[in-house]
Amino acid sequence: MNIIRRNIISNDAAPACRRTFRAELRAGSIGSVNLTLAQSSAVNISHTKRHSGQPSDDQLFVFMPLTGTKILQQSGRRAKLMPGEFALIDPRLPHEGSFSDASEVLTLILDRHLLESRLGAVQDLTAHPVTPVTAEGQLASGYLTMLPSQAGRLSSAAEDLVEVHLLDLVAVALGKATKRQVSRGSSARSLIRMKLHAAIEARLSDPRLDASVIARAAGVSTRYANAVLADDDTSLGRLIQAKRLERCRQALADPAQQHRSVSEIAYGWGFSDMTHFGRRFKAMYGLLPSEFRRDL
């Protein structure tokens, strides 16, 4: 459970039987959406006020069991999720949960701003079960179920398309389950947003990459590109930095890259100043890069 606390969300965990407890965690990503697949013995988890103030506060979590059950409680609501059902959890607020024995649970770790741009504030949407009873719920559930097998296999452009569809489906299904209106947004702006993400991914390791290069690649002005990204509460500069930091975090956590130094990884993903890289990494993940790797 230490891996879950370090890489997903800080919490207190109490296995039903410590002597026989077993857990296995696999991770991947599709665009900005991080995925984890956790197989676990029975365990109860608790996320309290003292766990707030973590990097996960800028994220939202969608939990869906593939086998077994998962119970989630937040803000006075309780969702008992069966396979194919999912619910949203806000890590800024206390919550509790439990895994049944021999369960396998898919977790989506979403950028808070990307989902809230579609749904608005989500405090009253958490711990509401989304079931395959509705067409929206069934479509979203089927899409989520396929994700673990596709993570890491898609091109950057395909990842950007899948990421947008995924966020839209989760928002639509949550909106249907909670009777919340979902923002339709502008298809033109959505297309530009997709092009900007794809252009950044294609050039992320280039240390000369800047906002004007990305805007030109997407066929728009820098001003308009930043206006589009402002819908997600970000900008070209911040998006480039966030994507580079995430690639560095993934490399530092990858056992196959243990032979690479921290500086080699940072330079490889376009950073040119190690002091700046260290400050930005700690601001995002709460640890210096060397500390993050040491604690794995």
Residues 154 and 44 in one domain: yes
Are both 172 and 212 inside the same structural domain? no
Clarify whether residues 211 and 143 are in a common domain. no
Give one word for 102, left, alpha or beta, with left for phi > 0 and alpha for psi -120 to 50: left
* Domain limit, last residue, from 157, 178, 199: 178
Q: Looking at residue 114, what is its pLDDT? A: 81
Burial pattern 168-188, b for ≥16 Cβ within 10 A else e, equals bbbbbbbbbbeebebeeeeee
Tell me the two tokens of residue 107.
Answer: 């977790």
Measured from the Cβ of residue 242, the count of other Cβ atoms closer than 10 Å reads: 16
Domain boundary among 146, 178, 210: 178
Task: Provide the β-strand partners of residue 217.
Answer: none
Which range of residues forms the domain containing residue 246?
187-294
Residue 182 reports pLDDT greater than 80 = no
pLDDT score of 185 more than 60: no
Q: For the residues 127-149, what does the mean pLDDT come to?
A: 94
Report whether pLDDT(200) > 60: yes
Q: Is the pLDDT of residue 123 over 80?
A: yes
Q: Answer yes or no: do 46 and 154 share one domain.
A: yes
pLDDT tens by residue, 152-164: 888 877 787 788 7
Taking each continuous run of H as one helix and of E as one strand, the counts in the chain are 11, 10
pLDDT classification of 11: cutoffs 50, 70, 90: confident
Q: 190, 164 in Cβ contact below 8 A? A: yes
CB atoms within 10 A of CB 121: 8
Which residue has better confidence, 215 or 54?
Answer: 215
Per-residue confidence (pLDDT) for residue 160, from 0 to 100? 73
Q: Are residues 267 and 140 in the same domain?
A: no
Residue type present at position 7: N
Q: Are residues 39 and 114 in the same domain?
A: yes
Q: How confident is the model at residue 90 (pLDDT cuts 50, 70, 90)?
A: very high
Residue that is last in its domain, among 145, 178, 211 = 178
Question: What whole-number distance in Å separates Cα of residue 267 and Cα of residue 272?
Answer: 6
Tell me, what's the pLDDT at 8? 55
State the total domains in the chain. 2
CATH number at residue 279: 1.10.10.60
- Please check the confidence at residue 63 and state whether its pLDDT lies above 60: yes
Q: Are residues 148 and 241 in the same domain?
A: no
What pLDDT score does 53 carry?
A: 54
Same domain, 191 and 246: yes
- The residue type of 248 is C
Question: Same domain, yes or no, for 248 and 273?
Answer: yes
User: What is the per-residue pLDDT across 280-292, written as a single tens digit (0 to 9) for each?
Assistant: 999 999 999 999 9
Ramachandran class of 219: left when φ > 0, alpha when ψ lies in -120 to 50, beta otherwise: left
What is the percentage of the chain residues whose pLDDT exceeds 70?
Answer: 91
Tens digits of residue pLDDT in 208-267: 999 999 999 888 889 989 988 998 889 999 999 999 999 999 999 999 999 999 999 999
HSE value, Cβ hemisphere, 13 Å, CA-based, for 192 = 22
Tell me, yes or no, whether 173 and 256 share the same domain: no
pLDDT of residue 113: 81
Helical ranges in 204-235 per DSSP H: 211-218, 222-230
Do 198 and 171 share a structural domain? no
Average of per-residue pLDDT values in the chain: 87
- Residue 106 belongs to a domain with what CATH number? 2.60.120.10
Q: Residue 128 has which token pair?
A: 């509401």
121/61 Cα distance (integer angstroms): 14
What is the per-residue pLDDT across 15-24, written as a single tens digit (0 to 9) for each? 888 888 888 8
Same domain? For 129 and 228 the reply is no
> Is the confidence at residue 178, as pLDDT, over 50?
yes
In this prediction, residue 87 carries a pLDDT of 98
